[in-house]
Amino acid sequence: MPRLFGTDGVRGLANDVITVELAVGLAQAASVVLGKGRFADGRRASGRRPVGVVARDPRVSGEFIAAAVMAGFASSGVDVLDAGIIPTPAAAFLIADIKADFGVVISASHNAAPDNGIKFFAVGGTKLPDEVEDRIEAALGEKKLAPTGVEVGRIRRFADAEDRYVLHLLSTLPHRLEGIHVVLDCANGAAAGISPEVFTDAGATVTVIGSDPDGYNINEGVGSTHLDNLARAVLEHGADVGIAHDGDADRCLAVDHLGQIVDGDQIMAILAVSMKERGLLADDTLVATVMSNLGLKVAMAEHGITLLQTSVGDRYVLEALTEKKLSLGGEQSGHVIMSQFATTGDGILTGLHLLAEMARTGKSLAELAAVMTVYPQVMINVRGVDQHGLATNTVIADAIRAAEARLGETGRVLLRKSGTEPMVRVMVEAEDQATAQAITESLAEVVREQLAR
């Protein structure tokens, strides 16, 4: 059987993959695994019941899935704090802030409204390692906790959840945002109730789009995966910058005053250089994934910053940040982790600090983004192939070596198998678009021929 947990929790079509039964079962299984002190810190010796925080984004299916998760927890003897609709990073912060034992966010992030997901956080607000997720999955088939009487968990509203998070965000700012006009695209998602308030409180002039969630329109033509509307709004309103979140607000992408996209790599480059100048970039090192643009590595080298690259997934970035005690990392997609202030990607936090750098330097976002030259990058998803044969196919290996020799130091090749479907991703970067396109198409054809099912 394929692994239930993916790169960001359990995700799929609501009421098909993500059912009430699965939600209850996962909560009960997590209570067994996370509530026994084997993964937390043994505080159960005090005799108190474990405490879990539950939050969600505004998609309609989150209503019944969150109810099912809370029922599973309470029936297992866990006291539940229902934080309602808040961003994923807000839930992670709150878990750490109140010293809860674990938590769950019901969200499918940037996916369309019919999908949903269940992602767990451990004590301290960190995502679970693969081995702990595997233990939860295994516990689905084991005996559940079944307390009675006073040992049954309670479900209460987390009344000041938003206020705690807003105050935390504002406390991190190194500079006020007066004089900056920002357009915020809240993706009709979890950021809609918080992001405009925070940027306004920080001193910015705020125009908002994508801020009317109805349960069905999350990510629909708006947010970090649909930046055209944001670019138009920035130009229409004569704004200085646009910030786009995704459905659960753990991403931040930007648009400059000319309507040009500034992606996660460029945002990390801006923040890394700023933090190094201010003595805040631990070990002068930035953590990014292997999918980051080659231009990021070149730019960091020019500024005396080491680029440490990990596997794809913000959890692997976080693992590297934690293990090596580093302060900044993220992904091209806009997941940026500022470990001094957050345990996961935080789109609102990232946007605030990006604008704070504009305010500190007096430079436009376009000027700041010029710190990095973006190399043309082409990716083709080769579907319907046996991706497991990628690592051992000598013909593909020879084709990769030939492509790398052609590119030399001015480009790179990356082939990566999908973890969820029969597909291989072929990505090539080069100094010019035509070269990147030609080499990508050639490699994709080799993969298609060699790994045909």
So which residues are the catalytic ones? 109
- Compute CA distances 199 → 192, 195, 225, 298, whole Å: 12, 6, 21, 32
Q: Give phi and psi for 417, each to the nearest 5.
A: -80, 150
Give strand pairing partners of 35.
Answer: none
DSSP string, 61-94: HHHHHHHHHHHHHHTTT-EEEEEEE--HHHHHHH
- Compute CA distances 63 → 14, 15, 60, 308, whole Å: 11, 12, 6, 40
DSSP state of 168: H
Sheet holding 412-417, edge to edge: 377-383, 423-429, 412-417
In SS3 terms, 217-259 reads as: CCCCCCCCCCCHHHHHHHHHHCCCEEEECCCCCCCCEEEECCC
DSSP state of 137: H
